[in-house]
Structure 1
Amino acid sequence: MGAGGRMQVSPPSSSPGTNTLKRVPCETPPFTLGDLKKAIPPHCFKRSIPRCVLTGLWVIAHECGHHAFSDHQWLDDAVGLVFHSFLLVPYFSWKDEVFVPKKKSDIKWYGKYLNNPLGRTVMLTVQFKLGWPLYLAFNVSGRPYSDGFACHFHPNAPIYNDRERLQIYISDAGVLSVCYGLYRYAASRGVASVVCVYGVPLLIVNCFLVLITYLQHTHPSLPHYDSSEWDWLRGALATVDRDYGILNKVFHNITDTHVAHHLFSTMPHYNAMEATKAIKPILWRVLPV
């Protein structure tokens, strides 16, 4: 669903088809967020801690950041802080971040020299292995700031306001605690053991995080709005449900239900499949699903 996502069910005969390169309409959708919410069974919005804890570490951490883990914000923040810290991610620093694709005019001058098979291979290798830590540490590929060094670990970075700075200190303390634990483990078992037990799995998780995020928000048919066109609903619909086949279950279906997640981010991921099926008939009016 969305712009070019492969469908799980066949569209009605009136559907515009499954041409994945068909442009998503830029006009205001002929429905509201309320219309979409009414189509979703109410129980899809109910949170269940036991159902969530049976999923992956990153999925639980992600649910906490969106207040989809429990009905209590303090519990979501506590669990989210611990789980994000285990993944060396500053919880509060990243909690409200969003992915915004770059405009063509923002592509660096050297981009044209990398627009070939070898260049793309190099860029993808760097992006998958180093993209996530470079983003957190140096805001690489993030929104530009002209009034200071943008770093997700820096409490005084221009990314945050004064009310948020204490939370950044707390996030940093969580990450530093895990780093210290890894240091003690390395001192006891050796660096090679840390690399095998923690480093390699973390690298794989980060690779999939970058890949999934990029593909969910990047497609030739997705429109990019300027300030005169953008509104919340159109922005939320500018994403893609991707079908990874059997890996959909491995990823707990966060890959093929992203449109629903954009629309209702506090909805638990384990109800997103049912919600996605419920809103498809409405979205078929405008999206080339």
Structure 2
Amino acid sequence: MVQRQSFEGTGRDLDRQRIAALEKQASLGDVIQTIPKDCFRISPAKAWARLVVNVLLVVLGYAALALNPWWWLLPALWIFTGTALTGFFVIAHDCGHRSFSTRRRINDIVGHVMLLPLLYPFHGWRIKHNQHHTFTNQIEMDNAWRPMSVAEYRALSPGVRAGYRFARGIGWWFASAVHQLNLHFKPSLFKPKDRADIRLSSTAVIAFACVLFPALLWMGGPWAVIQFWLMPWLVYHFWMSTFTLVHHTHPDIPFYPAATWTPVTGQLFSTIHCVYPAWVEFLCHDINVHIPHHVSTAIPSYNLRKAHTALKAHWSDYMHETEFSWSLMRSITRECHLRDETGYYLPCREVD
């Protein structure tokens, strides 16, 4: 049994004590050992059942959009359909971590198919995302919401500064779309051994788009593109941006230089469990039960809650939990922009 720690202090000083105690007490392997073995077991029945239910819900959303006679109901239908499409991403997310199926080919095929409606290239996303998992909250290597240093920010032109402030502020909800376009389609950003996979996924997305958009235009003109693709896609990116931002952003969780970063600090201490409304948790397959997923990507999404309960029984002193609210988003988007010399957040307004 893990011995409980006693901590004294407030805010960042208290969390520095926790980081030091955690790194002295355990490695990431020790943490993984406290998760029941059956949490790592892949269940084809559960995986395929979730996929089928998710597909039916997306079909239901599109059918409702096609048959709906009331303009005022459109926002609710877009929110439902876009959130259900976020579930497609989570299934592909399991595929990318090889936790949907024990067979690599099935993971690759399902991952590609699930991401096509979102115009996401599977291999381009998978490889960059695994880099985030390998180096979570490491300054030099993490590629997800890594804050700029004060010096980097001051070196930007005024226009680029404004864009950065927008992406970390009120425009956070669209930042994942920019991330998608900038990182996942360019073979030159990947190692030579991965570039054939990147071209394959990018070609699949481009081919799908060349069928999708002409078909929508033929069926209903520009409004069909807006109604059936653009609006659900924007809802998806709202959730994608929100989930990924909240997963690792907190005033008391720093980014660490490689010299002091450790896997157990990055994956256990620096990952946040956030509770969302039940309908979001259901449609998005519990992706925000996120700490066990960072402790081990081998845990399928349907086992995350059981794994989280086990982690809390042993490591609750080192785990961060919160609940989704607009006040939470306001706090993050107002305060968590740049990193100071110690790796902690500070707002842009303090250096502008």
What's the TM-score, normalizing by structure 1?
Answer: 0.78
Deviation, structure 1 residue 161:
1.2
Residue 71 of structure 1 pairs with residue 63 of structure 2: no
Residue 49 of structure 1 pairs with residue 82 of structure 2: no
1:9 alignment partner in structure 2: none
Seen in structure 2, the aligned counterparts of structure 1 residues 73 and 181 have a Cα distance that, compared at 3 Å, is same
User: Higher mean Cα deviation, 48-57 or 186-195?
Assistant: 48-57
CA distance in 2, matches of 1:70, 1:161: 26
Q: Check whether the contact 1:15–1:284 (CA below 8 A) recurs between aligned residues.
A: no
1:239 alignment partner in structure 2: 271
Seen in structure 2, the aligned counterparts of structure 1 residues 93 and 29 have a Cα distance that, compared at 3 Å, is farther
Computed over aligned residues only, the root mean square deviation of the Cα atoms, in angstroms, reads 3.1
2:256 alignment partner in structure 1: 225
Q: Deviations over 1:57-100 (max 9, x none)?
A: 12111111111111111110111112222211111111022225
Residue 195 of structure 1 pairs with residue 223 of structure 2: no
2:281 alignment partner in structure 1: 248
Gaps of 5+ in 2: 55-86, 133-143, 322-352
Residue 271 of structure 1 pairs with residue 303 of structure 2: yes
CA distance in 2, matches of 1:123, 1:265: 27
Seen in structure 2, the aligned counterparts of structure 1 residues 124 and 251 have a Cα distance that, compared at 3 Å, is farther
Q: Deviations over 1:137-165 (max 9, x none)?
A: 234xxxxxxxxxxxx3122x1x2111111
CA distance in 1, matches of 2:276, 2:27: 29
Correspondence 1:102-181 to 2 at 5 A:
102-105=147-150, 108-109=153-154, 124-129=169-174, 131-139=175-183, 152-155=184-187, 157=188, 159-181=189-211
Aligned partner of residue 286 in structure 2, secondary structure = coil
2:337 alignment partner in structure 1: none
CA distance in 2, matches of 1:30, 1:277: 20
Gaps of 5+ in 1: 1-11, 140-151
User: Higher mean Cα deviation, 179-188 or 205-214?
Assistant: 179-188
Q: Check whether the contact 2:273–2:320 (CA below 8 A) recurs between aligned residues.
A: no
Give the structure, 1 or 2, with the largest relative contact order (CA under 8 Å, sep 6 or more): 1
More helix by share: 2
Deviation, structure 1 residue 233:
2.0
Residue 26 of structure 1 pairs with residue 19 of structure 2: yes
Aligned partner of residue 242 in structure 1, secondary structure = strand
Amino-acid identity (%): 25
2:235 alignment partner in structure 1: 204
Q: 2:292 aligns with which of 260, 274, 279?
A: 260
Q: Check whether the contact 1:23–1:221 (CA below 8 A) recurs between aligned residues.
A: yes
Q: How many residues align?
A: 258
Deviation, structure 1 residue 191:
2.0
User: Higher mean Cα deviation, 24-33 or 215-224?
Assistant: 24-33
Code of the residue aligned with 1:48 in structure 2: it is S
CA distance in 1, matches of 2:151, 2:297: 29
Code of the residue aligned with 1:234 in structure 2: it is T
Code of the residue aligned with 1:265 in structure 2: it is T
Deviation, structure 1 residue 107:
5.7
Q: Check whether the contact 2:94–2:300 (CA below 8 A) recurs between aligned residues.
A: yes
Q: Deviations over 1:107-153 (max 9, x none)?
A: 6248999x9xxx97786443323x223223234xxxxxxxxxxxx31
